[in-house]
Structure formats: structure tokens, C-alpha cells
Structure 1
């Protein structure tokens, strides 16, 4: 007599209650991560004044966080292959929120930097693991939308962290502002814990370090993944550099904007929420390679537009850059999960390692360009990065898919 075999768990599909719970949880997780990560960005000029440090040194409050985040993700991504996705993500969100609340009491610049480095380590358990979770649990036709909505949460969190910190700093102090951001992150962490569905497709791997290291080598042998990893470094490096030093430009003459006004500029991140979901879905239908390079061209056009002196074209340029960046990131991050055959969290960790390494290294290097050549130097640096990214995008689009189910 033939025995019935258990049915494989269904992949999450758009329109189902489980898919809606997934998106709510990942949106909250992305919101918390990016609000905590980038809440210091509009405060960089204030840190320079209060702690008597240069623009490049002030940017370390962001660059050290993203740098440690990049390295630590290689570890937490591997741990999630053994311990599971949801436990790592929830622990990451809760610990990061608590550390941020404590950071508000930092007595000096050195303590603030140490606290922000620890935040970089604790945040590392979310981005790469969430990308792997989506690639495992979501139906391929819905992956672009799910990843786009997760990145939309990143955009909203990045905007809220910057806007709230700017407004609350003007109303009270930067310490009060960061404490509020940490509290919002704690609430978002609890929401993610309650709403995120348990993994149904995850299969734990051996805790053998040699096997985990071999997986990294397997990913790097795929030229497509190598190109995507390089794109992450170039695109994020250029994007964060523009935003890092835009505040310095607009708080100086002839603009003289307040911290609230600088924070309000990050409302532009709402454009990223729309573009990440829409472009991710569009690329899933038309082909990633056909849409990806267009997003990079948009970033280039927007960066050049910011060279004009009037505030309106500067803002239009930043809107264009933001639309293009989040669209490109949505495509690339979902593409990584599709090209990686196994150990998807490690593949995502490699992508995000270069993503945050670009933020850290290029974001700080941009301070040197700003100090020596002003905004023209910053835009020249970003333009060079985006031209390299565009060349790689054409090579990436020309690669054959690694399986019949994957799109070129």
C-alpha cells in the first residue's frame, strides 16, 4: 500500500493573509533598521559644532556603524543558516532599539562612536537574513513586490529617522531625538515579532565553519553575483555621499536652512517607497536587466542636476537620484536571491557587505572631496561611481540566467 507523502509547504503569494502579515512585519523591520541606522545623518553638522570635529570625522557616527554592519552581516548571515531566520531577525531588532535608547545618554564623542559601532553589530541580523527569508518563503512571481515593500519600509524608516531627529533636535536636543527613534524601533521590533510568519521552507545547515566558508566561495564564482555585489558598493556609496554632505551645503550661505528643514528634505525618501515596490514589480515582468540600467541613468541625471544653485533643481535632482537608487536596489537585491542556488542568506550578506561598505568608505571619502572641492567635488566623485555602475549593469544584463526559471 502506497503511503501518502506530506505536501510541501506552500510559498507565500500576493493577495493571501499570510503574505499581508509578511509584508507588515518586514515593513516594520525595515523601518526600524533604517530609522536607527540613519537618524544621525542630518545631525552631522551639529556634531561637528558640539564636539569640535571635522565633517569627515563627524561622518564616522554613520560610517563606523555601516562599516561594522557590513562585516558583521557575514557572520549573522551564516548563523541564520544554522539557527533559522526569524530568531536572528527578532533579536537584532530588539537589541538595536535598546542600544539606541541608551546611546542618547552618551557623555562624549568617543562614547557615542563606540555605541554606534555596537549598533552596527546588532543591526547586522536583519537585512541579509530578511532578503534570504523572502527568497525562500515567497512565490517567485511575488518576490519583486515583497522585496520592494521591504525596501519601502527601509525608505520610510530612513526618512522618518532623519526627519524626526531633525525636528526633535530643534524642539529639544539631539539626545531627546535619538531616544525617541530608539523607542519607535522597539515598538517596530515587537510588531515584527508578532506578525512575521514562521519559516516553512528553511532547512538548517551544518554548523561546520569550513562548509559555511565554502558557500561564500561558491557564490563568488558566479560572475552575476560578483557584478551585483560590486553594484551594491558603487550605488550605495554614491547615494549616501550625496545625502551626507547635502546638509553641509544647505545649512551654509546662501541657503541657511534649519535642522528641521534639513530633516524635512528626507521626505524625498517617500519617493523611494513608491519606486522600490513599483520598479521591483516592473522588473519582475519585463526583466531585471532591461530595467536596472535605466535606474542608474536616472541617478546620474539627478546628481548632475544638483550642481545648479537654485534650491528647486537641487531638490528635483535629489528626487530623481532617490527614485533611481531605490528602484535599482530593489531589482539588485531580489536578483541576488534568484541567482543564489543555496545559502541564500550568505549570498545576501555578501551583497549587503559591499552595500554598507560602500556607504562607510565612500561616505567618509566624500568628506574629503567636500572639504577640498565643495559640492562640485562631491558630484564628481558620485558621477564616477555611477558611470562604473552603468558599465557593470550592461555586462550583468548580457549574462545568461543560471537556470531556465531565472530571468536574464
Structure 2
């Protein structure tokens, strides 16, 4: 038993508290929690993607109109991320993310009960607003709490959770819908989302380096935004987020329509099985996050974009195996590039890290919303060749942006990414 006079150590201040490092229990708990958050967010967001052909048939709407069930969610998610990011310096990290996860799970259950198409779109739009709490704060939490030497690895695991969630949300709804109905499928995903929220609350360590700012308000938020928008390197990363995410979502939005049509004529179950290629996204995120820490983010970013372009070209093949291989390669490249780019934002930002993360994610999800719907028009006008032509142009621009970042952040230049960490 301790003596009554035993000294009690005061809690560490944000300046002296240790950072989360690999090998510690707190680091493992944080990774499990953020993995669960990424899983829940992306499974609930993208669970409708394999259901787009079913929505088009059930509600008698066009493919482009059916894509609104996803585009509205991602578009309003982008707005929510931006608004939360403006005030992130005042908001408690864990509480915001927990509220977002629980609310989005409940709203998925509500989507399953909607009586008509417009009601479904309204609930999915509301879901986009509440989902914004996790992406807007998770990147800031990692940038604040994880040691710089392990940030790439931790960010890769978080994005890996996003990849796993994106995969399982699509696979679960596709399988259940094929054997029951799309309404039952959404109920199942909603319940899984609520359980993931419980795991998140139990596992995530509280913030130790977050210092709430009670003053500044809009003026401070505006200063942070302006600081980032005049930085050409951050602008390049924001543009990459827009183009890469828009390209990726467009491919998955309309791959289902292609595979249900001749010469493939696949069932909903088989199409859903193709979404298991998201497993390579989990591997790519963790791998490239670690490689970026060791070999430089510019080179790894260019490699990821180049891999996406190779995969895109393979999807032009009529042979089903080659076409699916192309989707696998494109998926690997996307998660590799996104893992590197998202981690780099936090390092290049000179202060106001939450605002930098929110701007990146604003661009990221706007790309999903805008380009995902534009891709529908290309599908209606020119089929899969039109979709590939559109995405090919976006990836060429992305490659040019990646090459620029590689050049200007190379060790021989005056601006080096490692020297700009705040």
C-alpha cells in the first residue's frame, strides 16, 4: 500500500506529454480505434455503390440519377468536413468523431426504411453532413498525437481501415441484396456501423497534445485557410485529392453497370465479390505509408499515380480476368497515392493542421461527388470507353502534379518537405 505522503505525478501538459509511438499499448489502441472509424465511415458511405443498378431499376431512374445516392452524400460530406475543420481548433477530437460515427450508423438504418427515391436522397444527404466529423478530425488527431517518425505508418493504417470498410460495405450490401433485398442489406451495414462506433469509443486514447483555442473564431480559421491556399505545394496536394478520388469513385460507380450488361451479365453476388479487391488497398496504404517515411513522399506519390494509370488501361480489355486485374491494379495505386498525399498534408502545413486536413478532404470528397456524376454522363454517351477516356485525362494531370511535387521537394531544392514541418 502506498504511503499517504507518496508524491502523485501531475498529468503531463501538452508540451511534455509523450507522443504515440510504435511498440506501445496506446499506439496500438489508437490504431485499432482509427481503423474502426475509417471502416465505419467508408462502409456506411459507399454501401450504396453496388446497389446503384438496383436503385435504377426499383425507382425507375437513370444510372446518372442513381449515382446521386452516393454523390449527394460525398458532396455534403465535403461541406461538413470544411465547416468542422474551420472550428476544429475548438472541438474535442474524440467526442466529435464518436458522435459522428453513432449518428451515421443510425441514419443508415433510416435509409433502409425510406418510402421513395426523394426521401432516400434526403436521408443520404443528411448522412453526408454527419459523417464529416470523422475525416475532418481523424487526420488532425494523428498529426497531433503520433510521433513524426511513425505518422506515415499510422496514417496508412487509418486509410487501410477506410479501404477495408469500403470493401466490406460494398460486399455486404451486394451479397445480402442478392439473397434478400437492398433494404435488409442496409440494415445489416447500419448495425455493423454502430458496433464499430462502440469499439472506437472504448479503444481511442484521449488527446494529449490538443490545446483548445477559445479565441480567434472566424478570424483565426480564415488565417489558417489563407495560409494554406497560398502554398503551391499544398494546393497541388488538394488538386490531387480531387482528381484521384473522383477518378477512383467513377470507376467503381459504373463498373457494376458494365459487369451486369453483356458480354459479362454477372449477378449482384459476383459483382460484389469483385469489391474484395479492396484488400489490396489495405496493403497498399500501410506499405506506401512506411515507404514514404523511408524513401520520400514525392517518389512514392508518383509511383502510386502511375500504377493507377496502368490499371485504368487494363480495364479496357474485354476479357473479364484482365478487366478485373485492371481494377485491382488501379485500386492498389489509388490507396498508395492517397496514403502518401494525405500524410504529406499534415507535414507540409505550417500550423493550422486541422484546417489543412479539412481543405484536402473538401477537395477529396468534392472530387467524388462532382466527377462521380460527370462520369455517369460519359457512361450514357460513350459507355466504358468514355469513362476510361475521362479518367485517363484526370490521371495524366495528376501525374504532372506528382512530378512537380517530387521535383520541388527533392533534397537539392530550397523547399524541402521535412524542413516545413511545423
The interval holding the TM-score normalised by the smaller chain is over 0.9
Residue 167 of structure 2, aligned match among 159, 167, 187: 159
* Counterpart in the other structure of 1:38: 46
The Cα shift of 1:404 comes to 5.0
The Cα shift of 1:80 comes to 2.5
Residue 374 of structure 1, aligned match among 380, 383, 389: 383
Matches within 5 A, 1:82-121: 82-121=90-129
* Counterpart in the other structure of 1:245: 254
Residue 257 of structure 1, aligned match among 260, 266, 270: 266
* Counterpart in the other structure of 1:357: 366
Contact 1:76 1:88 in 2 (8 A): no
- CA deviations on 1:58-90 (whole Å, 9 max, x unpaired) are 000000000000011111122321022111111
* Stretch deviating more after TM superposition (341-350 or 205-214): 205-214
* Stretch deviating more after TM superposition (362-371 or 391-400): 391-400
How many residues align structurally? 404
* Counterpart in the other structure of 1:394: 403
Q: CA RMSD in A?
A: 1.4
Contact 1:82 1:207 in 2 (8 A): no
Contact 1:339 1:402 in 2 (8 A): no
Matches within 5 A, 1:1-400: 8-205=16-213, 206=215, 208-400=217-409
TM-score when scaled to structure 2?
A: 0.94
Alignment partners' CA distance in 1, 2:303 and 2:174: 33
Q: 3-state SS of the aligned residue for 1:199? A: coil
TM-score when scaled to structure 1?
A: 0.97
Q: 3-state SS of the aligned residue for 1:82? A: coil
Contact 1:289 1:393 in 2 (8 A): yes
Alignment partners' CA distance in 1, 2:62 and 2:223: 42
Contact 2:349 2:420 in 1 (8 A): no
- CA deviations on 1:189-231 (whole Å, 9 max, x unpaired) are 0110111110001111225112212211111111111000000
Alignment partners' CA distance in 1, 2:85 and 2:171: 30
